[in-house]
């Protein structure tokens, strides 16, 4: 069987395996994105779309001195002639170059709505806005028609466009750029023009200058905002050394009487977003120090956000530190100096490599400009030479032109002229020839010869070429340079305040219902029994706490869960189910709760009479599924924990359903992080099915134990407990007749 039979050919189409096609297509796309879309060229610091916009606008005559024209016309020109892509993306690129809050040195001057710092993408449609180039765009375009660039056909081959623009300044570092290519990205921050020029001149004078030397001139990025750059100088130097790193910027604020006024935000941070972030914290009661927040921004003050503290005792530094740590008032920017170099390849370059390469580009551009001018001067001198011959023999020239059939050949033969000179004489009108003055011709010749010598001198001398580049850099810096916008300030890292620090410390009573609903009432004098409960529900337990503390819950399987008290719902309603906050095992129910400081001691015990002392910190955790705390024997339940005031003096009291009560020192019970614990009171094995521990309590000297039996309560002082004191794990003493059906214990 032939090959053709196996793989039929389609007429006029090449056949290749799908894998090969896919690989090639992906590679072509990747290279296109890297080289022709996402990454800038080191020479002019522009991506193709930006270059095409700037060039098109110069072609339309939209220079700084011209009247602006509709942006739609410009975009139409760009996508029609040079950039066959979407109009909206092209217009967005144009808008970005016109936004003074996005570009450090905007290349386009926009008239109409070009967006705001609050919403950079809120610009009007291109049919409504007008635009033209700014004066600084001249830095990119000024030398365009002087033989400085290579030209390439446009997408349909009908026009030519510049491969790059002959930038007189390292524009890449002035405005910076960002871009995401395939497998790589670029993030170049903007810089101050004067600082960059100063570093370039240093590098011209001292080609061996290190990055550290250049950092004496380039102190750091300079964003189009007055927010502080707080990155340490050593980190900035490392960033310029490696070509990668990050820069951290922080909002600028001041005190205005009792209020705090934010006057500058980090680059590309929206005031409304920051206000929303702060307001969200206020709604969540995480900013009790703040009374209100106001946006007083206007034309005179583009950013003015006023924070109103609750009192003048609020620590402003601490509050702002918290906001820096938790909102966009402080922002970090990635830096990755990944650029297409002169060799046409992308590479992450450090500051020295970048500036050295750009100076090589600039030196090449200036050399090309000078050679182009030299050619023009020499051509003009050649023509003037012929014109002088014509002037000195004017009558003869006029006679030849009038009488000869082939005047060009006759002129060349008679005066030994070149073809170019003869054509020029013939193209000059006779009247002009008659008016020509020898002095004018010789004067122009002298001027041009002087210029030729000067240019030749520069081209022959590296020192003169360097001086010319330096002088031009200095002139541009003088014309377009300005003071630094972003101050460089060393600051300590911002610290977010702990939640508990932000919450006012108030007494609270936490109430847990039998069905596992939770709520918190203000104050300690709350009678939880009198609160309203849902149908079929009632009080299980209540503990005294504070709004700054945590509350822990134990479920029927002995697992512990915790949450902050200030986050609990108010006791005005029925509260919320704990299952909304935590994820207990199927069939498990919440049986007990405790609250205190981390170092508070609690006795945890089961209804089978085992338990241990533990610190409250062990009961707390972040897991929604809780953590194993009390190991239960089969059939055992969890008792309400008892808080221990003093491990050395307090007594633990355990009471069983049969009326056996035992008191023993806390010191006899071990302190554990978790586990089953030791035996508290003895329940004979034979009675485990019917007798259980009803409650436990920790009684301090001077306190009274309340034994509840039905509706009645018996008070036992610390001294009265002496007759029930015994060794741990013994049977204890029997309560008096009529008090043996114990409902619970309380301490007063």
Query: How would you list the strands of the sheet with 576-577, edge to edge?
Result: 539-546, 507-513, 517-522, 576-577
- The CA dihedral of 543, 549, 554, 555, to the nearest 10 degrees, is 100
Three-state DSSP at 718 gives coil
Q: 352-357 long-range contacts, Cβ below 8 Å, gap at least 24? A: 352/203, 352/209, 352/210, 352/211, 352/214, 353/243, 354/42, 354/170, 354/172, 354/173, 354/243, 355/170, 355/199, 355/200, 355/203, 355/214, 356/203, 356/207, 357/42
Query: How does strand 130-133 pair with strand 108-111?
Result: antiparallel
| Tokens encoding 190 | 């903007």
Q: d(Cα 159, Cα 209) in Å, to the nearest integer?
A: 43
Look up residue 486 and give its DSSP letter.
S
Q: d(Cα 623, Cα 560) in Å, to the nearest integer?
A: 10
The neighbour count for residue 721, using CB atoms within 10 Å, is 19
Angle at 65 between CA 62 and CA 69, to 5 degrees: 35
Tokens 């512990």 -> residue: 560
Query: How would you list the strands of the sheet with 627-628, edge to edge?
Result: 590-596, 550-555, 559-564, 627-628
Catalytic residue numbers? 128
Taking alpha carbons only, the member of 710, 719, 720 closest to residue 742 is: 710
Look up residue 635 and give its DSSP letter.
T
Angle at 505 between CA 501 and CA 507, to 5 degrees: 150
Residues 6+ apart with CB under 8 A from 440: none
Q: d(Cα 648, Cα 95) in Å, to the nearest integer?
A: 75
């Amino acid at each position: 069987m032939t090959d053709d039979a196996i793989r039929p050919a389609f007429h006029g189409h090449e056949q290749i395996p799908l894998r090969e096609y896919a690989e090639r297509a992906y590679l072509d796309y990747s290279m296109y994105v890297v080289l022709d879309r996402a990454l800038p060229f080191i020479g002019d610091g522009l991506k193709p779309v930006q270059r095409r916009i700037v060039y098109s606008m110069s072609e339309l005559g939209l220079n700084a001195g011209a009247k602006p024209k509709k942006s739609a016309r410009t975009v139409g020109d760009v996508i029609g002639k040079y950039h066959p892509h979407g109009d909206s993306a092209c217009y967005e690129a144009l808008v970005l170059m016109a936004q003074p809050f996005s570009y450090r040195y905007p290349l386009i001057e926009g008239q109409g709505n070009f967006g705001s710092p609050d919403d950079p993408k809120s610009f009007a449609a291109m049919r409504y806005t007008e635009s033209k180039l700014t004066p600084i765009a001249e830095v990119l375009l000024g030398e365009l028609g002087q033989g400085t660039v290579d030209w390439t056909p446009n997408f349909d081959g009908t026009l030519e466009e510049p491969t790059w623009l002959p930038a007189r300044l390292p524009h890449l570092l002035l405005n910076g750029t960002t871009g995401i290519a395939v497998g790589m990205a670029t993030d170049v921050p903007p810089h101050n023009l004067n600082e960059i020029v100063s570093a370039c001149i240093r590098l011209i004078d001292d080609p061996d200058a290190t990055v550290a030397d250049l950092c004496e001139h380039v102190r750091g990025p300079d964003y189009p905002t007055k927010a502080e750059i707080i990155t340490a100088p050593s980190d900035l130097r490392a960033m310029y050394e490696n070509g990668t790193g990050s820069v951290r910027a922080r909002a600028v604020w001041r005190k205005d009487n009792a209020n705090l006024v934010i006057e500058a935000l980090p680059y590309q941070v929206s005031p409304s977003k920051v206000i929303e972030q702060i307001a969200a914290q206020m709604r969540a009661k995480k900013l009790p120090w703040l009374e209100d927040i106001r946006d007083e921004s206007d034309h005179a003050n583009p950013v003015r956000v006023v924070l109103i503290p609750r009192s003048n005792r609020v620590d402003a530094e601490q509050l702002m530190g918290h906001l820096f740590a938790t909102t966009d008032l402080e922002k970090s920017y990635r830096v990755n100096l990944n650029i297409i170099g002169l060799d046409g390849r992308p590479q992450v370059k450090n500051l020295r490599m970048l500036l050295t390469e750009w100076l090589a580009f600039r030196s090449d551009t200036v050399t090309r400009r000078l050679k182009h001018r030299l050619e023009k001067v020499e051509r003009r001198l050649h023509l003037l030479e012929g014109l002088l011959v014509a002037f000195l023999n004017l009558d003869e020239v006029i006679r030849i032109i009038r009488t000869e059939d082939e005047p060009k050949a006759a002129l060349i033969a008679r005066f030994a002229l070149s073809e170019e000179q003869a054509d020029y004489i013939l193209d000059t009108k006779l009247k002009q020839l008659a008016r020509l003055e020898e002095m004018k011709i010789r004067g122009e010749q002298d001027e041009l010869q002087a210029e030729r010598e000067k240019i030749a001198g520069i081209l022959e001398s590296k020192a003169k070429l360097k001086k010319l580049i330096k002088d031009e850099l200095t002139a541009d810096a003088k014309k377009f340079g300005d003071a630094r916008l972003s101050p460089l300030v060393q600051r300590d890292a911002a610290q977010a305040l702990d939640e508990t620090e932000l919450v006012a410390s108030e007494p609270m009573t936490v109430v847990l219902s039998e069905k596992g609903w939770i709520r918190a009432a203000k104050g300690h004098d709350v009678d939880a029994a009198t609160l309203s409960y849902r149908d079929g529900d009632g009080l299980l337990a209540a503990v005294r706490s504070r709004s700054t503390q945590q509350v822990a819950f134990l479920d029927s399987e002995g697992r512990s869960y915790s949450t902050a008290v200030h986050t609990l719902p108010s006791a005005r309603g029925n509260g919320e189910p704990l299952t909304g906050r935590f994820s207990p095992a199927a069939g498990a129910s919440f049986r007990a709760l405790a609250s205190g400081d981390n170092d508070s001691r609690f006795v945890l015990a089961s209804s089978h009479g085992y338990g241990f002392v533990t610190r409250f910190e062990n009961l707390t955790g972040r897991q929604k599924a809780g953590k194993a705390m009390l190991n239960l024997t089969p059939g055992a339940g969890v008792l309400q924990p008892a808080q221990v005031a003093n491990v050395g003096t307090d007594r633990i009291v355990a009471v069983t359903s049969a009326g056996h009560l035992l008191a023993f020192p806390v010191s006899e019970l071990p302190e554990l992080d978790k586990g089953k614990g030791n035996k508290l009171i003895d329940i004979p094995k034979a009675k485990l099915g019917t007798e259980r521990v009803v409650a436990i309590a920790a009684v301090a000297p001077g306190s009274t134990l309340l034994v509840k039996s039905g509706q009645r309560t018996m008070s036992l002082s610390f001294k009265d407990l002496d007759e029930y004191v015994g060794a741990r794990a013994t049977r204890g003493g029997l309560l008096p007749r009529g008090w043996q059906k114990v409902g619970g214990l309380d301490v007063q």
